Structure 1
């Protein structure tokens, strides 16, 4: 009986000590968690926070991409070159998903996604580099055959150059890793397409 009572006593003491240790640890962690969560930045599961440059890039590039997709959509019926049609399909296939991705970022940041300007004029974001004017888009819509091919390629080269400028700014000033990563992808992909289009135009 004595040995049993000693065993029970030792067990009770051990449990009491464990509870006390856990209580102290909880108090310490509570203070740490308040300190680490108070900034409100850099908490997005390893991607880091975002800044004003990320927001501007996303909003402007959405409109920029929308115009490129609109231009590419004309090629199916108006282009004569199978190469132009294939390139237009590639551009649309790449930029449509990027529009959705950037729209998702803006929504998650509590920002408004730019309104689609279809049917309200083509000069959707005149402040963004490389954007075509209403007059440019009107000419492209009326062109067909080889005239369309040449006009489309020349316009898209300038459009791509504008997108690359925007992407370089985002890489330099942006904070949100997925956005700066997308910017790097835009630079790589659209630089290669500029080279391709210049070759199609007979330029070195």
Structure 2
């Protein structure tokens, strides 16, 4: 008797063939399963990295969330500009640590807020026809004037450290005011979490800067 003359053997062979065909179809289809599904495929094809890098903060948002991001971006940019001036000018180790902390925290936060605004379909700046430059506006809490920045750049050593501490305390105070407004009026949980971080970290830095001023 041939092997397939047995009904049981024929059933087993058929089942094996069906399984093999299913595996082959699955393998062929896997290469296209993440594309062409919707207009968001470009951001969803890499679920671990793309959403945080390119999408807006998830969940509902309101005008307060948008205003917070639009204002905090230039505010952070000015803090980074102040930190840059410390290179070759700052003398106190405490000031240099604050500078490093500002650079470490605020550059990534700027990128986050830009991604939110892009995802929300809102412009990076709310101003119509310009606002006098990212570092020169007086309508934003804690922002330095152009003259403040020039004065800081003209100093070195202990004089720089003292002026930097005074200006950064005022700058951080402004950021905390803006962040507390977001805590109160914002709706988006991701934006409110960043506001929490700003209040916590910059309040701690204000305390440290005041201690540094006390010994300078």
Q: 1:72 maps to which residue?
A: 83
Aligned length: 156
Q: 1:96, 1:159 → 2: CA distance? A: 16
Question: Does structure 1 residue 62 correspond to structure 2 residue 62?
Answer: no
Q: Decide whether aligned partners of structure 1 residues 45 and 192 sit closer, same or farther in structure 2, where only a CA change above 3 A counts.
A: closer
Q: 1:13 maps to which residue?
A: none
Residue by residue, what CA displacement relative to the aligned partner does 1:71-102 show, whole Å, maximum 9, x if unpaired? 01111211111221121011111000000000
Q: Decide whether aligned partners of structure 1 residues 193 and 179 sit closer, same or farther in structure 2, where only a CA change above 3 A counts.
A: same
Secondary structure at the aligned position of 2:95 is classed as helix
Root mean square deviation, CA, Å:
2.2
Q: 2:114, 2:69 → 1: CA distance? A: 7
Q: 1:84 maps to which residue?
A: 95
Which of 140, 155, 168 is the matching residue for 1:128?
140
Question: Does structure 1 residue 191 correspond to structure 2 residue 170?
Answer: no
Unaligned runs of 5+ in 1: 1-43
Q: 2:57, 2:123 → 1: CA distance? A: 24
Q: 1:172 maps to which residue?
A: 184
Secondary structure at the aligned position of 1:181 is classed as helix
Map residues 103-118 of structure 1 onto 2, 5 A cutoff. Answer: 103-114=114-125
CA apart distance, 1:137: 0.7
Secondary structure at the aligned position of 1:163 is classed as helix
Secondary structure at the aligned position of 2:88 is classed as helix
CA apart distance, 1:111: 1.1
CA apart distance, 1:47: 4.3
8 Å contact kept, 1:121–1:134: no
Q: 1:35 maps to which residue?
A: none
CA apart distance, 1:201: 0.7
Q: 1:103, 1:202 → 2: CA distance? A: 37
Q: 2:63 maps to which residue?
A: 52
Unaligned runs of 5+ in 2: 1-54
8 Å contact kept, 2:57–2:188: no
Q: 1:95 maps to which residue?
A: 106
Question: Does structure 1 residue 144 correspond to structure 2 residue 156?
Answer: yes
Residue by residue, what CA displacement relative to the aligned partner does 1:97-154 show, whole Å, maximum 9, x if unpaired? 0000000000001112249x9xx6730x432100001111110111111110000000
What is the TM-score when the length of structure 2 is the normalising length? Answer: 0.68
8 Å contact kept, 2:135–2:146: yes
What is the TM-score when the length of structure 1 is the normalising length? Answer: 0.72
Question: Does structure 1 residue 154 correspond to structure 2 residue 166?
Answer: yes
Which stretch shows the higher mean deviation, 84-93 or 147-156?
Answer: 84-93
